[in-house]
């Protein structure tokens, strides 16, 4: 009983405090751009904070930002595992091979790869239907363009991005089928100066409403300077361009991250392939500008309702590519396999998908 009175040695944590810490599920996130990007990574970071709050002392989260899609990524993943993380989210497409390599050596760690397509026993893939947000933004663009020419600053040429470009244009053409579109590729996810240059060249080419698939608000800021319109993507970017901003197509990763943590804590984590959208509360078009006509706002609300109740799908035929080839016949809805393989531009888009 004398032991009780002894003060604890300062360096040694009391067993009572150490035990729960050891039980905590350690969860880590790897990001391709800075958390301050205002878009893609910012939004993953918001979700990380949301689950940290929700699960309290059951989990301990951490993140590493600005990790390139190179061997650096594999090193970071292995380091995260070495630090005791048992659930790791890798949140950029180009991490795919590095996730596969690290996961093969670390069977006791669960990996979640955003937007990839390669699964393994300990690798699940997940994505958000960003093309639904692009389509909703397209409706607004179609109602606001005066030059009848919209534009997209595109990032990395993968099906997801090509699908988003097309979906934006399909939305615009649902308002006016004569609308044309231009695309400039920057071949990176996060490159504000390049994003801005690409936006400038679109504007110089007659584009007056822009969308982007890059991570920063650079396109919006350029639109603001040049007196044209643009959208926020992934995060709410309204604050970056009060005059140019027409709406933000926002991803909420929180519902999915909550589900994964819940499953992991319950010992029920499984590899899978999840693709949530407007219906599941993962995607929305928010902060539609006051200057957008009520008719366009109503059209957005109707499309959103249709996506929620399943009565509407963005990729419903007839859809024709920009070479005049029918890609979906009248009334046919593109299934997931079709959507994941889109490698053409729809009618009205100038140029060709980079080979």
Helix boundaries (H) for the chain: 2-5, 15-23, 40-55, 71-82, 96-105, 130-144, 159-175, 192-204, 218-226, 254-265, 294-309, 336-340
CB of 353 to ligand GUN, least distance (A): 16
15-74 residues in contact with ligand GUN (CB under 6 A) are: 32, 40
CB of 32 to ligand GUN, least distance (A): 5
Among 92, 143, 166, 173, binds ligand GUN (CB under 6 A): 92
Binding residues for ligand GUN, total number by CB under 6 A: 9
Contact 18, 76 (CB under 8 A): no
Instruction: To the nearest 10°, report the CA torsion of 320, 228, 233, 138.
Output: -30
Q: If 0-12 CB within 10 Å is exposed, 13-18 middle and 19+ buried, where does residue 58 land? A: middle
Question: SS3 for 203?
Answer: helix
Residue 93, preceding peptide bond in cis (omega within 30° of 0): no
Tokens of 149: 């020419």
Q: CB nearer to ligand GUN: give 189 or 231.
A: 189
- Does residue 215 touch ligand GUN according to CB under 6 A? yes
131-150 residues in contact with ligand GUN (CB under 6 A) are: none
Residue whose C-alpha is closest to residue 207's, from 169, 248, 156? 169
Contact 40, 114 (CB under 8 A): no
- Does residue 93 touch ligand GUN according to CB under 6 A? yes
- Other beta carbons within 10 angstroms of residue 336's beta carbon come to 9
CB of 92 to ligand GUN, least distance (A): 3
Among 28, 61, 115, 180, binds ligand GUN (CB under 6 A): 115
Q: CB nearer to ligand GUN: give 125 or 144.
A: 125
- Does residue 112 touch ligand GUN according to CB under 6 A? no
Place of tokens 């069977």: 107
Place of tokens 């389509």: 135
324-343 residues in contact with ligand GUN (CB under 6 A) are: none
CB of 2 to ligand GUN, least distance (A): 60
Tokens of 65: 């930002």
Q: CB nearer to ligand GUN: give 168 or 189.
A: 189
181-210 residues in contact with ligand GUN (CB under 6 A) are: 189
Q: CB nearer to ligand GUN: give 179 or 342.
A: 342
- Does residue 222 touch ligand GUN according to CB under 6 A? no
Among 74, 132, 160, 284, binds ligand GUN (CB under 6 A): 160
Contact 120, 270 (CB under 8 A): no
Provide the binding-site residues for ligand GUN, judged by CB under 6 A.
32, 40, 92-93, 115, 160, 189, 213, 215
């Amino acid at each position: 009983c004398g032991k009780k009175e002894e003060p604890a040695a300062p360096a040694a944590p009391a067993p009572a405090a150490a035990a729960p810490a050891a039980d905590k599920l350690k969860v880590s996130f790897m990001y391709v751009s800075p958390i301050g990007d205002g878009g893609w990574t910012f939004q993953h970071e918001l979700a990380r904070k949301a689950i940290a709050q929700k699960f309290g002392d059951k989990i301990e989260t951490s993140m590493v930002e600005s990790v390139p899609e190179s061997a650096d990524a594999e090193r970071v993943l292995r380091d995260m595992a070495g630090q005791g993380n048992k659930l790791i989210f890798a949140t950029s497409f180009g991490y795919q091979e590095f996730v596969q390599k690290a996961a093969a050596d670390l069977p006791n760690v669960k990996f979640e790869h955003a937007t990839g397509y390669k699964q393994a026993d300990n690798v699940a893939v997940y994505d958000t239907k960003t093309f639904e947000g692009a389509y909703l933004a397209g409706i607004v663009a179609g109602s606001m363009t005066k030059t009848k020419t919209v534009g997209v600053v595109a990032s990395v040429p993968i099906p997801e991005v090509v699908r988003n470009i097309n979906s934006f244009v399909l939305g615009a053409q649902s308002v006016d089928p004569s609308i044309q579109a231009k695309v400039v590729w920057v071949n990176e996810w996060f490159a504000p100066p390049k994003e801005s240059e690409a936006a400038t060249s679109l504007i110089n080419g007659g584009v007056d409403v822009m969308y982007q698939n890059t991570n920063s608000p650079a396109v919006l800021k350029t639109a603001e300077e040049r007196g044209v319109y643009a959208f926020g993507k992934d995060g709410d970017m309204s604050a970056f361009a009060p005059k140019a901003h027409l709406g933000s197509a926002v991803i909420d990763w929180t519902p999915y991250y909550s589900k994964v943590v819940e499953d992991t804590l319950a010992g029920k984590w499984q590899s899978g392939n999840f693709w949530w959208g407007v219906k599941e509360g993962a995607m929305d078009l928010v902060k539609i500008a006051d200057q957008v006509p009520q008719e366009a706002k109503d059209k957005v609300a109707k499309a959103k309702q249709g996506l929620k109740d399943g009565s509407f799908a963005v990729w419903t035929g007839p859809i024709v590519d920009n070479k005049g080839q029918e890609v979906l016949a009248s009334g046919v809805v593109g299934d997931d396999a079709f959507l994941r393989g889109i490698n053409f531009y729809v009618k009205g888009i100038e140029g060709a998908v980079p080979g």
